C-alpha cells in the first residue's frame, strides 16, 4: 500500500530541515576550503604512469620506484578528493536552495488554504442568506 505524499510531507520535521540547511552548506564550504587550501602533491618526475612494483624488492632503486608509484597514487587520490568535495559543496548549496523553495511553497499552500476556507465560509453564508 502506497503512503500518500501528504502524509510523508507532513511527517518531515521541516523546521529542523530548514534550520540545519545553512549548517550543511557551511560544513561543505569548510570542507571545500580545507581541501582546496591543501595543494595537490607534486607529481613525481617519472611521470604519471604506474609502474609494476614487487613489494619484496628492497633495493634502493626498487624503493624509489615504489615511492614514485605511491606519490602518483596519492596525487590521484587527492584529485579525487578535491572533485568529491566540490560535488558535496554543490549538492549542499542545491539542498539549501531546495529547502528554501519547499518552505516558500509550504507557506504559499497555507495561504491558499486559508483563502479557500474564507471563500468557502463566504459562499456558505451567501447560500444561507439567499435561502432565508
Q: Each residue of 28-66: pLDDT tens digit?
A: 777 777 777 765 555 555 444 444 556 566 788 888 888
Tell me the residue length of the chain. Answer: 132
Share of the chain above pLDDT 70, in %: 76
**Strands annotated E in the chain:** none
Confidence band (pLDDT; 50, 70, 90) for 8?
Answer: low
Q: Is the pTM of this model over 0.75?
A: no
Residue 50: its pLDDT value, please?
47
Instruction: Say if CB 97 and CB 24 are below 8 A apart.
Output: no
Give the C-alpha separation, 92 to 96, whole Å.
6
Amino acid at each position: 500500500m502506497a503512503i500518500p505524499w501528504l502524509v510523508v510531507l507532513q511527517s518531515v520535521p521541516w523546521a529542523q530541515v530548514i534550520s540545519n540547511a545553512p549548517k550543511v552548506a557551511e560544513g561543505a564550504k569548510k570542507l571545500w576550503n580545507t581541501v582546496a587550501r591543501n595543494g595537490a602533491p607534486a607529481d613525481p618526475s617519472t611521470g604519471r604512469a604506474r609502474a609494476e612494483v614487487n613489494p619484496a624488492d628492497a633495493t634502493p632503486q626498487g624503493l624509489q620506484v615504489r615511492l614514485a608509484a605511491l606519490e602518483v597514487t596519492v596525487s590521484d587520490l587527492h584529485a579525487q578528493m578535491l572533485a568529491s568535495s566540490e560535488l558535496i559543496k554543490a549538492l549542499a548549496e542545491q539542498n539549501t536552495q531546495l529547502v528554501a523553495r519547499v518552505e516558500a511553497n509550504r507557506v504559499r499552500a497555507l495561504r491558499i488554504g486559508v483563502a479557500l476556507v474564507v471563500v468557502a465560509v463566504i459562499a456558505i453564508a451567501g447560500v444561507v442568506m439567499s435561502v432565508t
